Amino acid sequence: MDRRRVLALLGLGPTLVTGSPAYGRMTPRAVAGDSDARTDGSPDLITVMNPAIAGRLAARVPLAPPLSTLDNKTIYLINLSWEGPDAANYFYGAMTDWLQKHYSGVKTTVKVTAEGMFGSDPSIIKEIIANKADAAIVGVAG
């Protein structure tokens, strides 16, 4: 049973069922002399955003078929800068060494995304396509 679909049909979001509700509440009164104090006597309120997901799921795209071998293949290792741009360098170095030891002619290229872990980097995608890379490993942290 698809719980998200059932909740969507009922007009509910998953956070309503799994999480506790968030309520707007008054903030403490401003201290005398505070420049942010309201002059009209109305209480300061916080804004609560609705974290519920949209009722429609994204279209599914099938995974690429696995490679039969890594011999003589080009593999891009994409560092998403989780924990900083240099955090995964040790791991990618060890992965490069292991691949070269176990597969003949494998070529690895390490790239760091410009936008970090929350965006895509079109220049890296263009480079991967232009160089006809055989595979990419994305997002491993150090």
User: CB count, 10 Å around CB of 37?
Assistant: 11
Tell whether the model's pLDDT for residue 27 goes beyond 80: no
Nearest by Cα to 100 from 78, 79, 73, 77: 73
Q: Residues in the chain, how many?
A: 142
pLDDT confidence tier of residue 52, bands split at 50, 70 and 90 = confident
Tokens of residue 141, six digits = 């942290």
Residue 139 CB-density burial (10 A; 0-12 exposed, 13-18 middle, 19+ buried): middle
Rounded distance between C-alpha atoms, residue 90 and residue 97, angstroms: 11
pLDDT tens per residue across span 79-106: 887 777 777 888 888 999 999 999 999 9
pLDDT of res. 83: 76
* pLDDT number for residue 80: 83
* Average confidence score pLDDT of the chain: 77
> CB count, 10 Å around CB of 106?
20
Instruction: Measure CA of the first residue to CA of the last residue in the chain; give whole Å.
Output: 37
Over 80: is that where the pLDDT of 124 sits? yes
pLDDT at 86: 75
**Structure confidence at residue 13 as a pLDDT band (50, 70, 90):** low
CA 24 to each of CA 27, 50, 114: distance values in angstroms, whole numbers, following the listed order: 9, 12, 37
